[in-house]
Chain A
Amino acid sequence: MSRRAVITGIGVRTPGGSGTKEFWDLLTSGRTATRPITFFDASPFRSRIAGEADFDPVSEGFTPREIRRMDRATQFAVACTRDAVADSGLDFASLDPSRVAVALGSAVASATSLENEYLVMSDAGRDWLVDPGHLSPYMFDYLSPGVMPAEIAWEVGAEGPVTMISDGCTSGLDAVGHGVQLIREGSADTVLAGAADTPVSPIVVACFDAIKATTPRNDEPATASRPFDGTRNGFVLAEGAAMFVLEEYERARARGAQIYAEVGGYATRSNAYHMTGLKKDGRELAEAIRAALDEARLDRGAVDYVNAHGSGTKQNDRHETAAFKRSLGEHAYAVPISSIKSMVGHSLGAIGSIEIAASVLAIRHNVVPPTANLSTPDPECDLDYVPRTARQQRVSTVLTVGSGFGGFQSAMVLHAPRGAAV
């Protein structure tokens, strides 16, 4: 008998969304949470806009010791973990710790802390201070960020497989996909899966400036992220996190858990083309979509909503549109497709998990979130991207996809729990 994985708890932190309800209210209102960078003086940079979260570790309940110990990205992940655990109603203390696993995604992990330490060690870039005594005792953990999933494991008492998935911008999708595999193959019954990234720091902004991947639309911060729009010219860097409690279906059912959705299928492929570039044809992403639908044993016509990667770069949105046509055929023209990056920006490795949260909430509420800031048609992006206004409609199956540097192309199919009232 094959084991199935379901989502029974959600925790989210995004720009404009300090919890699941606020996050969903933002998405369905079509408001945006991108703004001029306030975390540092961004004046020397090409792109000076970001999706910053108003995250306060003290009001989040972290102790002074935890605040000292945990990097900002780790704090995000732990805050989401606490929410997801509470939301699941699962008593983790009653579980066999060896059957609990963690799969945490992050693209740049402790980048912010690394940069802070660099400034200390280099006297703000002037001179290298050789004495390692200047370094934070946590510097090793910023270099090698295994501590991030470790903190999640300690939080929930996980003693099964614990790992960090770092596949660039598909990390958040791939980490949840990894967790699902652990449950299906029998390596764990319960998994804390999700992702966190807090990359709004000078070095990361400079990385994307250098290749003009982020938008220079600095005078219009609230409408700067324009997926699928004819005037789009780059993504808006953001921070955020989402964590889920994944459970083996029979166990979740037996305890009477609220089941948000089942992860029906997941697949990933690589384009083997370029570390940052995309071909126009969308071939590998289309193959990942096909394989994910196959695994879910669903026909492409069953997809009610596509949660797009929709980063707002010229090449991505074109590539992705081609992939949808290639994999979904005529249905690509009928199914609503939207990008929440238009509202919360692109939080690198975290966004895949945040988009899973949006997909699951779309199923729960039977609402499709819109693509904000979409008003100028692009002949190369000629599908229904749900411009500006959310739609009330039946949503029982969602396809969510991601595409990232390194060539990663991932797809996941989520559907309402089978047998449940729709």
Chain B
Amino acid sequence: MSAVRAVVTGLGVAAPNGLGAETYWKALLTGQSGIGPLSRFDTSGYPARLAGEIREFDAARHLPDRLLPQTDVSTRYAIAAADWALADAGIGDESDIADYDMGVVTSTAQGGFDFTHREFRKLWRQGPRFVSVYESFAWFYAVNTGQISIRNGMRGPSAALVGEQAGGLDAVGHARRTVRRGTRLVVSGGVDSAFDPWGWSAQLAGGLVSQATDPERAYLPFDAAACGYVPGEGGALLVVEDAVSARERGAAQVYGEIAGYAATFDPAPGSGRPPGLRGAAERAIADAGLEPGDIGAVFADAAGVPALDAAEARALRGIFGSRGVPVTAPKALTGRMYAGGGPADVAAALLALRDQVVPATARTASVPESYGLDLVVGEPRSIRTAAVLVLARGRHGFNAAVVLTTA
């Protein structure tokens, strides 16, 4: 359809089991988990106490002092991950790409929530005069796009999207759209974090968070013993570029092409019509000019909730046939990072293409026969493929699919 190809030339990951794309990738291949007891506050009164928490991020090391008082923890991850992605892509201060030729498209599901919780508290305990001068923007969903744009002098088309866990893939899809419409480079991805008591309570109110107490058994996507998901924090930022422009500037590497993207929405509850995940995946594959048989691995949404796992398995069976493609869910090692989850999966999928190996779904052991899934469990698996599919679903019916190919 469009002659412009959008490729990924830089990766920045901030995940509970690794800071930096290569550290994260190594953690996925060796089964290193970032899930453990949530340490940000006393969780003893809460029915769920395990989280995928980033423990070794020293904000003062990664951000200038000036940005510390004005940023939520999620925004700090976003700014750092964008820095890493740009450094990886070899885009520095001396870059000759014009300011209007660089945009930023991010997603967050929760905004700067820990920050805003503190400001709500000040407002109601002390009064309006105690509310931070930064609250007006540290909270809102566009904060990461704005901060990354300012930090890197990017004045091109930019946006912030919200679609719960699917929003991160929508951002990557919109970055591709933006490149196709003529912007040379777009920093894109998503990050989330809401590990303050209020944010935690709100996540629990959603009703799908695992109440298991054993970190090894709390989030078991596609397992017969699946009992909910573990919330995670973090995500990934990617450098998405026009392929020709990337080649001309001598990009350090091209991880792969965003060859296909599609989004659908589930029918209204009670309509009796089938959910939309399958349609999103099929359209993304067709959008890439491929057939299902060309897909060498699927990075699944992997809700970790039996009904939702079964629905995803059904969609995959419908497209690929029973056990028709290797499926994995590395997010079992990080927890669900909401808007950060899809972009982190995209980073992992691109590294899987590079190294021709798929990480395992860490702790899942017993997949119901009825799922008809070829789930990669136990050890990573070698693949020989030029295309992988990444899926994400967001609460209430969002479905997004991205097809990545070797460039």
Interfacial residues, chain A to chain B (CB-CB below 8 A): 44-46, 97-98, 102, 107-109, 115, 117-119, 121-122, 124-126, 128, 130-132, 135-147, 149-150, 153-154, 157-168, 174, 178, 181, 185-186, 202-203, 205-211, 213, 267-276, 284, 287, 404-408
Q: Which residues, 127 to 170 on B, are CB-close (under 8 Å) to A?
A: 127-129, 131-133, 135-137, 139-143, 145-147, 149-150, 152-164, 167, 170
Interface members, chain B 191-250 (any A CB < 8 Å): 194, 197-199, 201-207
Contact A268 B145 (CB under 8 A): no
- 7 nearest A-B residue pairs (beta carbon): A125-B124, A406-B146, A140-B206, A166-B141, A130-B45, A139-B205, A143-B202
Given contacts A274-B150, A408-B158, 12 further A-B contacts (CB under 8 A): A122-B120, A125-B121, A139-B206, A140-B205, A160-B265, A164-B161, A203-B119, A209-B128, A209-B129, A272-B99, A275-B137, A405-B146
Query: In the complex, are the beta carbons of B124 and A210 less than 8 A apart?
Result: no
Q: How far, in angstroms, from A143 to B140 measured CA to CA in the complex?
A: 11
Neighbour of A163 across the interface among B170, B268, B279, CB < 8 A: B170
Give Cα A154 to B398, complex, Å: 12
Known contacts A143-B199, A163-B162, A273-B150; A203/B45 CB under 8 A: no
Q: In the complex the two chains form, what is the Cα distance from A149 to B110 in whole Å?
A: 15
A264 to chain B, nearest CB (A): 16
CA distance A405 to B150 in the complex (A): 12
CB distance B202 to A142 under 8 Å?
A: yes
Min C-beta distance of B262 to chain A, whole Å = 8
A163-B170, A406-B149 known; A206 and B142 CB under 8 Å? no
Q: Which residue in B47, B136, B154 is a CB contact (below 8 Å) of A272?
A: B154
Q: Is the CB of A164 within 8 A of B149?
A: no
B338 touches A (CB below 8 Å):
yes
Which B residues, 70 to 102, have Cβ-Cβ distances below 8 Å to chain A? 70, 99-100
**Range of interface residues on B (Cβ < 8 Å):** 35 or more
Does B296 belong to the interface (CB within 8 Å)?
A: no
Q: Do A161 and B164 have beta carbons less than 8 Å apart?
A: no
24 A-B contacts, Cβ less than 8 Å apart? A44-B128, A108-B140, A130-B197, A132-B201, A135-B201, A135-B202, A150-B265, A159-B265, A160-B263, A161-B262, A162-B265, A163-B263, A163-B398, A166-B162, A168-B142, A203-B120, A203-B135, A206-B119, A209-B131, A270-B149, A272-B154, A276-B137, A287-B155, A406-B145
A146-B167 contact in complex given A118-B120, A181-B177, C-beta closer than 8 Å: yes
Q: Do the beta carbons of B201 and A121 come within 8 Å of each other? A: yes
- Can you name the residue of chain A whose Cβ is closest to the Cβ of B396? A150
Bits for B249-270, please: 1 = Cβ < 8 Å to A, else 0: 0000000000000111111110
Name the residue on B nearest A102 (C-beta): B265
- CB contact between B150 and one of A117, A174, A209, A275 (< 8 Å): that residue: A275
Alpha-carbon distance A229/B146, docked complex (angstroms): 29
A421 to chain B, nearest CB (A): 33
Q: A167 contacts B155, CB within 8 Å?
A: no
Q: Indicate if the CB atoms of B161 and A166 lie closer than 8 Å.
A: yes
Say whether, besides A157-B267, A168-B142, A210-B131, A115 and B161 are in contact (CB < 8 Å).
Answer: no
How distant is the Cα of A205 from the Cα of B120 in the complex, in angstroms? 12
Chain A residues within an 8 Å CB radius of B202: 117, 135, 139-140, 142-144
